[in-house]
Structure 1
Amino acid sequence: MSILSKINHYRRGVMRNLTKNIGKPKSDQGIILVDKSEIKRVLICRPNARLGNLLLITPLVQEVTEIFPNCKVDLFVKGTLAPIIFENYENIDKVIDLPKKPFKNLLKYLNVWISIKKQKYDVAINVDQNSSSGRLAVQFSNAKYKFYGDLNEDSQLVKNDYDHIAKYPVYNFRYYLTKLGLAKINKIVAPIDLKLSSSEIAQGKKLINDLVHNSKKTICIFTYATGAKCLSEEWWEKFYSQLTTQYKEYNIIEILPVENVSQIAFKAPTFYSKDIREIGSVIANADLFIGADSGIMHLASAVQTPTIGLFSISNMKKYQPYDNCSVGVDINLYTKKEYIKTINSILNNGKLNTYSNAI
């Protein structure tokens, strides 16, 4: 670990300790929300720049806008990806982005906090209870109702999918709303959703056709991941050989990372783009996506393509893809036969026509 990384790690630890008690006891204890229609502006705080983490808040955004259909939502994030991810979310109003390097952009950094303080919000929500900046933003806001992202132990006991990072913020927020006097919600948590338009889907199909020049169905693979999550070239070579042997009737296309590297030495037809929505549109036209835990794996899940997430060290219960036959598998436990069985089960089930009513 570099000196800078050690400093950042230490800084985060100090900030968590300083902010962990913000919101306790809750400032809105005893307040009752009589009329949901009074909620006009909502602030959702997830000050993180990573593709996966931003995609993983889309179920909460859908939940909030379903409960408060007349509200406008501002997002407090980091980086520049959020406007792209939430492009087709009609209720999203402003994206308030913290600079990745605050000390190099001190004026913008300060302006962000000033803008949060100046705006009148009805509800402020922190997605991750361990986010110091998220807790501070909720505290700093002028919102009447403030939710700091604290865990709901009752949900942990009742919900077998509570540990999932896209779901527990929804369960926790639902519990918070019951404390405001609203009825308990028991419906299934919404899927992660990029909300591709019909024209984007059509463009993705064209891109695949231009690449393979045939009418076969398609399997997309993504062989890259960051750090120790990245499976070895040897592992991918064997797996790719297995795929090409078993699924000759399918196109197998490799989605390349921004680093433009391949763990199978570019043996498959490849698709490269820096446009997140364009990558999503290509994957949306595939019948199956296979890749290690990464932002692109969550992107595949967000375009509702059946996804097999390959997990070697990550917490599978927390990060595995879900919905539309998607599944996480532990590569340390899976055998060759089990991969084939899982893939066949998904392909034989068929992809749901999720985008039949696309925007």
Structure 2
Amino acid sequence: MRNLTKNVGKTNMQNDFILVDKSEIKRVLICRPNGRLGNLLLITPLVQEVSEMFPNCKIDLFVKGTLAPIIFEKYDTVDKIIHLPKKPFKSLIAYSKVWISLKKTPYDLAINVDQNSSSGRLAVQFSNAKYKFFGDSNDEIAEKKSDFEHIAKYPVYNFRNYLAKLRLPTSSNKIIAPLDLKLTASEISEGRKILGELTNNDKRTICIFTYATGAKCLSEEWWEKFYSQLTAEYKNYNIIEILPVENVSQIGFKAPTFYSKDIREIGSVIANADLFIGADSGIMHLSSAVHTPTIGLFSVSNLKKYEPYDNCSVGIDVNLYTKKEYIKTINSILSSGTLNIYSRAI
């Protein structure tokens, strides 16, 4: 499918289009036909960018699965969530209706997030939007931006470049927004209450997440050693394990645990922690999205592409780090005085 669709939109460069008035853009389609928690959270910086650039617009999201309505629940500019069935050949009628709806809705601008997404490119092409951006990268920008490889950032850089081609003034050097779940004050308060019931003390808290899918999941042996190190070094901290939906633990449930299937509830608990430590996973990105300082543990994933950023967050290659380096990094974050922006707001 990638080979079949890689040239979709290549001949539609729209060099003759000039966007004079930003208010002309009233309805936008953003295409990221993926249903994973991490991948959906990673488009929140682009959604924020589009909302800021076109403050009077409404955004429809073309995705998969059922998580998007939960993630974008508090985004006022997000209007409709259009999602493809997980198994299209078993839901052909529903699948067809989704594509027909893209054609019928009068969009002013359609954006594909990932240039390698076949469905995303096709959705933009199939839409009747006047302005169509297929997500193609610009090599010149990639060379200039040291963080261009990051999956949450290059869609924003590429989109800014597209707007520049439309002769629309943009700030290419503006800092890209962090991931954001947009938790409410009441959600944060509820998370603080849950954390208080778990710990029953007023110590600061470190959250760990020991699970990840496939090869990204570090071994029980690795986590046992790391957990022993944490408990020895940080006796004045609560260490809470956030459990995955699979309800498994790489440390044999030795730490107090929190389990929930509610993404926003999990986020509200992590938002009240001083530090989150976990392997590359959707929950790691969730921690970033609630602005808790995050240490991402990478063993096989592309660190530059997926590492947490903002608010003292950092990605670590576990194949290169020593015991002393872990402690040094953790101490640096905990002593930085950085507070979660949600906590500052309450």
Please, what TM-score do these two structures have when normalized by structure 1? 0.95
Aligned to 2:124: 138
Which whole-Å CA distance do the structure 2 matches of 1:53 and 1:284 have between them? Answer: 20
Aligned to 1:216: 203
Q: CA deviation at 1:64?
A: 0.1
Amino acid at match of 2:82: I
Deviates more, 1:313-322 or 1:25-34: 25-34
Aligned to 1:48: 34
Counterpart of 1:126 (choices 86, 90, 112) is 112
Q: Is the 8 A contact 1:75 1:94 kept in 2?
A: yes
Aligned to 1:109: 95
Alignment length (residue pairs): 345
Alignment of 1:337 with 2:324, yes or no, is yes
- Residues 136, 357 of structure 1: alpha-carbon distance in 2 compared, 3 angstrom cutoff: farther
- Residues 204, 124 of structure 1: alpha-carbon distance in 2 compared, 3 angstrom cutoff: same
Counterpart of 1:196 (choices 166, 183, 206) is 183
Per-residue CA shift, 1:103-134, capped at 9, x if unaligned? Answer: 11111100000110000000000000000000
Counterpart of 1:94 (choices 80, 88, 95) is 80
Alignment of 1:22 with 2:8, yes or no, is yes
Aligned to 2:168: 182
Aligned to 2:245: 258
Q: CA deviation at 1:182?
A: 1.1
Q: CA deviation at 1:26?
A: 2.1
Q: CA deviation at 1:29?
A: 2.2
Deviates more, 1:150-159 or 1:58-67: 150-159
Amino acid at match of 1:299: L
Amino acid at match of 2:104: K
Q: CA deviation at 1:352?
A: 2.5
Which whole-Å CA distance do the structure 1 matches of 2:330 and 2:13 have between them? Answer: 50
Amino acid at match of 2:270: I
Which whole-Å CA distance do the structure 2 matches of 1:263 and 1:292 have between them? Answer: 12
Aligned to 2:215: 228
Aligned to 1:317: 304
Find the residue that maps to 1:260 and give its secondary structure: coil
Q: Is the 8 A contact 1:46 1:128 kept in 2?
A: yes
Aligned to 1:297: 284
Give identity over the alignment, percent.
78
Counterpart of 1:84 (choices 66, 70, 76) is 70
Which whole-Å CA distance do the structure 2 matches of 1:45 and 1:354 have between them? Answer: 29
Deviates more, 1:344-353 or 1:234-243: 344-353
Deviates more, 1:253-262 or 1:99-108: 99-108
Amino acid at match of 2:307: Q
Q: CA deviation at 1:353?
A: 4.1
Aligned to 1:205: 192
Which whole-Å CA distance do the structure 1 matches of 2:259 and 2:240 have between them? Answer: 11
Per-residue CA shift, 1:302-345, capped at 9, x if unaligned? Answer: 00000000000000000000000000000000000000000000
Q: CA deviation at 1:154?
A: 1.4
Counterpart of 2:259 (choices 272, 281, 285) is 272
Amino acid at match of 2:89: F
Which whole-Å CA distance do the structure 1 matches of 2:214 and 2:88 have between them? Answer: 25
Find the residue that maps to 1:349 and give its secondary structure: coil
Paired residues for 1:1-20 under 5 Å: 15-20=1-6
Please, what TM-score do these two structures have when normalized by structure 2? 0.98
Per-residue CA shift, 1:266-285, capped at 9, x if unaligned? Answer: 00000000000000000000
Aligned to 2:134: 148
Q: Is the 8 A contact 1:49 1:78 kept in 2?
A: yes
Q: Is the 8 A contact 1:196 1:358 kept in 2?
A: no
Per-residue CA shift, 1:148-195, capped at 9, x if unaligned? Answer: 000011111110000000000000000000000012312000000000
Q: CA deviation at 1:358?
A: 5.6
Which whole-Å CA distance do the structure 1 matches of 2:239 and 2:106 have between them? Answer: 50
Alignment of 1:158 with 2:144, yes or no, is yes
Aligned to 1:281: 268
Alignment of 1:169 with 2:155, yes or no, is yes
Which whole-Å CA distance do the structure 2 matches of 1:138 and 1:17 have between them? Answer: 17
Amino acid at match of 2:88: P
Could you say what the CA RMSD is over the residues aligned between the two structures, in angstroms? 1.0
Q: CA deviation at 1:356?
A: 5.3
Q: CA deviation at 1:28?
A: 1.9
Which whole-Å CA distance do the structure 2 matches of 1:45 and 1:353 have between them? Answer: 30
Amino acid at match of 1:117: K
Amino acid at match of 1:113: W
- Tell me, which stretches of 5 or more residues in structure 1 are unaligned? 1-14
Q: CA deviation at 1:357?
A: 7.2
Alignment of 1:355 with 2:336, yes or no, is no
